[in-house]
Amino acid sequence: RMKYLTRRRAKRVYDWRGKPLSFNRKLKTYEYGSLVISIEGVPGTMVIQPGQHILIEGEDDDNPYVARVLQLFGDGESLNQEQKKALVQWFVRLSEVPHSKRTLLGREPHPKEIFFYQGPSCENEVDAESILRAVQVRVAPDTPWILKATPKRSAGDFLTSSSFLLSQTPPSTPRTPRHATPSIPNRLLPTRQPANVLEEARIRLHVSAVPESLPCREQEFQDIYSFVESKILDGTGGSGTSVIFFFFFILLNDCTRSLQKLTGQKATADHAAALLEKRFSNPAPRKETTVLLVDELDLLWTRKQNVMYNLFDWPSRRHARLVVLAIANTMDLPERIMINRVASRLGLTRMSFQPYTFKQLQQIITSRLNKVKAFEEDALQLVSRKVAALSGDARRCLDICRRATEICEHSAADPSAAGLVAMSHVMEALNEMFSSAYITAIKCASLQEQLFLRAVIAEFRRLGLEEATFQQVLVQHQALCRVEGLQPIGVSESLAVCQRLGACRLLLLEPSRLGVLQRVRLNVSQDDVLYALKAD
């Protein structure tokens, strides 16, 4: 029997050197200053530190990857459970560079050359136990930054350093290492600057862009500021509600998240409620005033309304020092859906944010553009008047303006030399935004179906919610029939109308077995319904 000799793979042992340098609470990682590598049966160790160049396991033993250590860290909930990780900067071999890219060098590349890699497709976080050893880097005397191949090493001399010469030439995409883990690549290049005026206007008009100021709400801002300031200076608590159309706030709608925001503690819902009760009921030295902003108050509605009761009961406590600002979609929300014990604790300081007028919408767009001349004056006035006539929603106005800039740019023979956005571009954007299949279906619906959609919107606004039962909508439907001089239809006919609207997906309905108690929701925006009905 013939025997075959195989080389036994050396087993490496990886340990941190010293204690952690720091702990990242957000990522739950421990940072270390060095990693010690040893091999079973071989004397001596090798120390890996940030800044060193290293070899990392490749697809085979003869072709390891080359990288530079940026950071060493342990990833895990505790020191005993952590995984050893390394953040690295990659280099690629000449064999990994496509032939079409090698011509960009402007010279004949060295067959053993390796290039500095700056692409975003390769993960830069790897398993530290995939590191083979450290290497020395030196500058080549003739060819700038060339890396020579490493000779094949055995287990006995794995600690011996090899000399490498690295190249700074831009490379192609390397292969992803076997032990790489997902991570967000660092931005190595600055963000691209706008190519023209229209592109810059689109960036400024995006709803997520943070403007330099919020015009047309100066008085409301001053009233809220004065209210909060007076409560803080007096050391008292208070609460108030407001109607909102275009503001963005942090949503704090449960005790667990509120406790974590205030103290950094994590607890169950019941325990968090008890801790908050204690915080707002007992006196404490040097106690700071807490301002709690609650968005979408309508969504906190429950049958027992315990959350709302606690929320508005705490500011009334003597030692609470708590100010609650609640945002709702309906001005008379306490009287409509809140039970007496909750409504009685809600303060009478209320502020109504009216829909934007066309002049205000025009001012908002102009303020965001900030002297960027991208629109004709008549075009801005047209889109402002159209949106103000429907809802006064500034977000819809911004979206239409952004789409108009795209239409203007695409219609030009030379996009870089496109002119200003004109009324024709705005009209095309408006027609495009309000010409979906849903809007066409609404325009083609029967008179009773259109009245039913109007009844749905009327009931939503009455409740301050985006959902109602068929029975509630039926009352509005019959009232609209009388207003229009029509004979109100019965329950069966109205239910059939509702089912037809549900079949064409204009409405979302619960199972029909619930009958008049089934809940009804719109599957399109209220703006689209109003636009279709007005256009019709």
- Report the pLDDT averaged over residues 426-434: 85
According to the model, what pLDDT value does residue 423 have?
Answer: 92
93: β partners: 114
Among 24-33, 45-54, 76-85, 141-150, the minimum mean pLDDT is found in 141-150
d(CA 313, CA 311): 6
pLDDT at 362 over 90: yes
Q: Report the C-alpha gap between 10 and 153 in whole angstroms.
A: 11
Read out DSSP for 87-125? EEEEEEEGGGS-HHHHGGGSSPPPTT-EEE---SSS--E
Least confident of 2-6, 286-290, 376-380: 2-6
pLDDT, residue 418, reads 67
Q: Yes or no: say if 35 and 17 are a contact pair by the CB < 8 Å rule.
A: yes
Whether residue 248 has pLDDT greater than 50: no
Q: Which long-range contacts (CB under 8 A, 24 or more apart) does 5-11 make?
A: 10/39, 10/40, 10/42, 10/155, 10/158, 11/39, 11/40
- Residue 205: the pLDDT is 92
Strand, helix or coil at 234?
Answer: helix
Does the pLDDT of residue 23 top 50, yes or no?
Answer: yes
Please say if the pLDDT value at position 477 is more than 90.
Answer: yes
DSSP 361-381: HHHHHHHHHTT---B-HHHHH
Q: 0.85 cut: is pTM over it? A: no
Q: 311 or 12: whose pLDDT is higher? A: 12
CA-to-CA distance for 312 and 300, rounded, in angstroms?
12
pLDDT at res. 402: 93
φ/ψ of residue 324, rounded to 5: -110, 125
CB 505 within 8 A of CB 491: no
CB 489 within 8 A of CB 436: no
Where residue 11 falls (left for φ over 0; alpha for ψ -120 to 50; beta otherwise) is beta
Q: Which of 311-320, 361-370, 455-464, 486-495 has the lowest mean pLDDT?
A: 311-320
* Mean pLDDT, range 479-495, rounded to an integer: 90
Instruction: Tell me the three state secondary structure of residue 182.
Output: coil
The listed range with the strongest mean pLDDT (182-191, 284-293, 447-456) is 447-456
Of all residues in the chain, the percent with pLDDT exceeding 70 is 70
pLDDT score at 9: 58
Please state, in angstroms and rounded to a whole number, the distance separating the CA atoms of residues 420 and 161: 64
Give residue for tokens 């309304």.
305
Mean pLDDT computed over every residue of the chain: 75
pLDDT of residue 149: 36
In whole angstroms, what is the distance from residue 144 CA to residue 409 CA?
45
Question: Does residue 241 contact residue 464 with C-beta atoms inside 8 Å?
Answer: no
Q: What is the pLDDT of residue 507?
A: 92
